[in-house]
């Protein structure tokens, strides 16, 4: 639930000397360090799972509006959005359900304890230092929801003192302002960053209607220090705002304008010490809040709301036994509190959960083994045991092969159990994953990774209709049951070229996510997709392009409710940076440069061609 590993040195090593930011000194370009896959720092090529790292330079170059726009260019990620920026967004990682991907902010779980996945549309890229996307089950280390993978968003951390600000404007009447200030020393520091965004948006429904925009205000506050041999840190992440939308897309009976307020918050404090040589012990306390309040009355005359609060404690330990073995393990405790009202159904639930885990990493020359297991106790269903077993063989300094297997689970959420059609006797969804991967270095500037994978999920929770239900059934015969199961088999490929300042990344996936009970393809997930990202330097300046190609996807039309197949699409985005000095730069972006008409969710609009301009100061 909480990841509180000291990553300051890792962050400094991963940022390019060309990134003119008060959050990173000019350092030699090294292999990115990732901590999410094992909760212990390793170089990205040696990560025990298929891992993609987006650093601060990548994030600034993308000039994305929110986290979803950053993730859509990661191999194996499908994005579905109910309209333009700010609208409800789903993330499908390697064909998994949207609530099968665990999202962390600075290691703290932010998935709500109600229906759906984390609110990725509310996360501003301006507040993010790096993103680690880990594919495959990691329930052993993080508990429920980490079936398809884990996305860890690490907020910006000061490496030196400085101030900065940026102004951005563009399509859909988008206006954004942000600023930061940091004071940092060798052992202590404090930083504050704030950001505000407004967009008029566009009509969500494909047949037209009113524009629906959003306002978002965010801040992060961080502090660190040391005393009596203990490192302390504290972080606050807070975002709130208002998003406009429509109830449902129906030209005759729907398309009614609505809006709701949202608030997402993470507060955490941590301490790290070395009680003995080779033993690092870290203790973290955190509190997460996910809050949505409807601004219009429902048909019963009440205002709907959904609120999750989750205070948590995490105790994580790493013991180094020379250069050949590393143990890690710990204990996680949390209480999830849900308070919700949705169309006359009130949910009030407090549930306690805890888990204990142990992981062993063994290195014997070119042979490497990881074994991990955990025991989780959950008020919603009882207990669960999960495991991971992984093996890597360094055939040479340039070639690695890896085989892995693991399990995961998703606990029934409060809506599954007590919402419309809820069933308090639901079992957790169960997952098993197998993967075989090859990682190949080509000279000193190129790398290639090929992964073959299979994921199976059983006891999938679905709402079904019971025609024999009594006439007074408050759910009208609809009830949640463990009935479905799905499988996804596929192959991923990622290629990277880094030559001086020239950067090229190409990736693609072929997959077949399907319902094993019916043989039908899973909704909103493409069998084939590919992307390319090219950056070319022009002295101190740079230009770049991003190309995304997505194949056909099955879906259900938002207006008619009929099964449809959405055609594939290709997006071309152009960006550039003029670096006038070490402190001043201007960034430009043309989104959907070919003005393609496309939908990521059937019946919902996506923006056409749009231009954005950013003025940035960083000193």
- pLDDT tens, 240-263? 999 999 988 887 888 899 999 999
Note the pLDDT of residue 26.
Answer: 30
For residue 11, pLDDT over 80 is answered with no
In terms of pLDDT, which residue wins out, 574 or 160? 574
| Two structure tokens written together for 263 | 């608030």
Q: How many CA atoms lie within 13 A of 25 on its CB side?
A: 13
- Range with the lowest mean pLDDT among 29-33, 425-429, 577-581? 29-33
DSSP 381: T
Has this prediction a pTM greater than 0.75?
A: yes
Q: Which of 32-41, 267-276, 459-468, 470-479 has the lowest mean pLDDT?
A: 470-479
Q: What's the first-to-final CA gap in the chain, in angstroms?
A: 35
pLDDT > 90? residue 230 = yes
Cβ contacts of 25 within 8 Å, gap of 6 or more: 12, 159, 160
- Whether 30 has a pLDDT exceeding 70, the answer reads no
CA distance 61 to 63: 6
pLDDT at 5 over 70: no
Give me the pLDDT at residue 241, please. 97
Q: Which two tokens stand for residue 359?
A: 């992981």
Sequence spans of domains, the chain: 8-618
Does domain 8-618 fall into CATH 2.40.170.20? yes
Question: Residue 565: its pLDDT value, please?
Answer: 87
Residues 128-138 pLDDT 10s: 999 999 999 99
Task: Tell me what the mean pLDDT of segment 547-568 comes to.
Answer: 88
Q: Tell me: the pLDDT tens digits for 373-410?
A: 999 998 878 899 999 999 999 999 999 999 999 999 99
| pLDDT surpassing 70 at residue 10 | no
Tokens of 438: 């090859």
Share of the chain above pLDDT 70, in %: 94
User: CA-CA distance, 91 to 81, in Å (whole number)?
Assistant: 9
pLDDT confidence of residue 17: 28
**CA quadruple 8, 11, 16, 20: dihedral positive or negative?**
negative
Average pLDDT, the chain: 89
C-alpha dist (Å) from residue 148 to 64, 151, 398, 447, 455:
24, 10, 28, 24, 8
Name every residue whose Cβ is closer than 8 Å to that of residue 522 and which is 6 or more positions away in sequence.
95, 486, 488, 513, 514, 515, 554
The span from the CA of 174 to the CA of 201, in Å, is 8
Query: What average pLDDT does this structure show over 274-302?
Result: 93
Place 158 in a pLDDT band, splitting at 50, 70 and 90.
low
**Which has the minimum average pLDDT: 43-52, 65-74, 265-274, 341-350?**
43-52
Percent of the chain with pLDDT over 90: 73
Residue 12: predicted pLDDT: 32
pLDDT at 6: 33
Show Cβ contacts of residue 306 under 8 Å, excluding neighbours closer than 6 positions.
112, 114, 290, 291, 292, 338, 340, 342
Q: What gap in Å lies between CA 110 and CA 117, rounded to an integer? A: 9
Confidence of residue 31 (pLDDT cuts 50, 70, 90): low
Lowest mean pLDDT among 192-201, 315-324, 367-376, 462-471: 462-471
Question: When comparing pLDDT for 440 and 4, which is higher?
Answer: 440
């Amino acid at each position: 639930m909480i990841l509180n590993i000291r990553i300051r040195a890792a962050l400094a090593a991963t940022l390019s000397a060309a990134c003119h930011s008060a959050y990173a000194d000019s350092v030699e370009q090294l292999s990115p360090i990732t901590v999410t896959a094992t909760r212990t720092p390793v170089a990205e090529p040696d990560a025990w799972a298929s891992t993609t790292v987006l650093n601060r330079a990548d994030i600034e170059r993308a000039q994305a509006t929110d986290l979803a726009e950053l993730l859509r260019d990661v191999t194996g990620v499908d994005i579905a959005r109910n309209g333009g920026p700010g609208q409800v967004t789903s993330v499908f990682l390697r064909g998994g359900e949207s609530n099968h991907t665990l999202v962390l902010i600075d290691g703290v779980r932010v998935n709500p304890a109600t229906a759906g996945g984390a609110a990725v549309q509310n996360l501003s890229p301006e507040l993010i230092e790096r993103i680690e996307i880990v594919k495959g089950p990691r329930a052993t280390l993080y508990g429920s929801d980490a079936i398809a993978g884990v996305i860890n968003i690490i907020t910006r951390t000061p490496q030196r003192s400085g101030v900065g600000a940026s102004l951005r404007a563009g399509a859909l009447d988008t206006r954004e302002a942000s600023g930061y200030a940091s004071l940092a020393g060798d052992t202590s520091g404090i930083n504050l960053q704030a950001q505000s965004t407004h967009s008029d948006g566009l009509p969500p429904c494909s047949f037209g209607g009113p524009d629906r925009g959003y306002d978002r205000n965010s801040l992060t506050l961080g502090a660190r220090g040391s005393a009596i041999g203990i490192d302390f840190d504290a972080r606050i992440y807070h975002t709130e705002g208002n998003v406009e939308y429509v109830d449902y897309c129906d030209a005759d009976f729907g398309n009614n304008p609505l809006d709701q307020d949202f608030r997402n918050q993470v507060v955490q404090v941590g301490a790290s010490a070395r009680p003995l040589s080779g033993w690092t012990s870290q203790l973290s306390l955190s509190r997460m809040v996910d809050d949505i309040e409807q601004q219009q009355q429902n048909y019963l005359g009440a205002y709907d709301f959904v609120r999750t609060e989750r205070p948590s404690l995490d105790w994580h330990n790493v013991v180094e036994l020379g250069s050949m073995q590393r143990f890690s393990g710990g204990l996680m405790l949390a209480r999830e509190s849900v308070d919700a009202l949705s169309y006359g159904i009130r949910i009030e639930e407090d549930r306690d959960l805890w888990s204990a885990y142990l992981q062993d990493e063994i290195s014997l020359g070119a042979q490497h083994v990881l074994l991990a297991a955990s025991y989780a106790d959950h008020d919603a269903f009882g207990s669960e045991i999960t495991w991971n077993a992984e093996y890597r063989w360094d055939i040479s300094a340039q070639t690695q092969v890896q085989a892995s297997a693991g399990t995961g689970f998703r606990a029934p959420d409060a809506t599954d159990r007590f919402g419309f059609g809820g069933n308090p006797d639901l079992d957790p969804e169960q997952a098993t994953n197998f993967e075989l991967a090859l990682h190949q270095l080509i000279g000193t500037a190129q790398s290639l990774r090929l992964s073959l994978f299979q994921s199976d999920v059983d006891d999938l929770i679905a709402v079904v209709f019971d025609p024999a239900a009594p006439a007074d059934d408050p759910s009208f015969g609809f009830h949640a049951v463990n009935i479905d199961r799905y499988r996804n088999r596929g192959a991923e490929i990622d290629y990277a070229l880094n030559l001086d300042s020239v950067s090229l990344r190409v990736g693609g996936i072929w997959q077949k996510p399907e319902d094993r009970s019916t043989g039908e393809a899973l909704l909103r997930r493409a069998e084939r997709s590919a992307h390319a990202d090219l950056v070319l330097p022009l002295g101190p300046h740079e230009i770049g392009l991003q190309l995304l190609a997505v194949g056909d996807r099955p879906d259900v039309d938002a207006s008619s409710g009929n099964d449809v197949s959405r055609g594939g699409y290709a997006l071309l985005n152009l960006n550039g940076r003029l670096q006038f000095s070490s402190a001043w730069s201007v960034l430009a972006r043309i989104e959907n440069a070919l003005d393609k008409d496309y939908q990521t969710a059937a019946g919902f609009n996506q923006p056409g061609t749009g231009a954005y301009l950013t003025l940035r100061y960083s000193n």
